[in-house]
Amino acid sequence: MAENTVVYQGTGRRKNAVARVRLIPGTGKVIVNKRDAAAYFGRQRLVDVACAPFKVTDTVDAFDVIALCNGGGMSGQAGAVRLGIARALLRAGDYRADLKRAGFLTRDARVVERKKYGLKKARRAPQFSKR
C-alpha cells in the first residue's frame, strides 16, 4: 500500500462481535480476517449483509475493505462489518442521509439475555407438575 493513500476507518459492533474496518479507494475487494469475504462467511447472504452500505450509497466498486473481526458468530460479525463500513463511509463522503434512511448507522443493541438462577434458560422455568 502506498504511503499517501487515504484510509477511512470505522468500528462496528453487533451482539458479541467487534469489527475494525478500513476502507481504501480501490476496486471493491472485501477482505475479512485476511481471507476473502465469501470464503470467510461461507454464505453469500452474509456477504450481502456486510456490503449493503455500498449498494445504498452507489459505491459498490469504489473501495476495498479490510476488516478484522473477533467475537460472536458469523451473523454477528457480518452485522458488525456492516456498521463498520457505514461508519467509515461517513468519513469518506457525504453519505449520511442515505445510510441513515437505510438504518445502517444504528447500533443494534439486542444481545443474548443472561440465564437466571432457578430457571433452565433466561426465561424457561422448570416444568411444573401438579402431582
Segments forming the whole domain that contains residue 97: 8-102
CB 121, CB 115: distance < 8 Å: yes
**Domain with 37 in it: what CATH number?**
3.30.230.10
What digits encode the pLDDT tens for the residues 24-43? 999 999 999 999 999 999 99
Q: Is the pLDDT of residue 13 over 70?
A: yes
Is 127 among the domain residues? Answer: no
CB 65, CB 22: distance < 8 Å: yes
The total number of structural domains that make up the chain: 1
Is 19 among the domain residues? Answer: yes
Is 14 among the domain residues? Answer: yes
What digits encode the pLDDT tens for the residues 59-70? 999 999 999 999
User: Strand order in 8-14's β-sheet?
Assistant: 8-14, 17-25, 63-70, 30-32, 35-36
CB 37, CB 22: distance < 8 Å: no
Is 108 among the domain residues? Answer: no
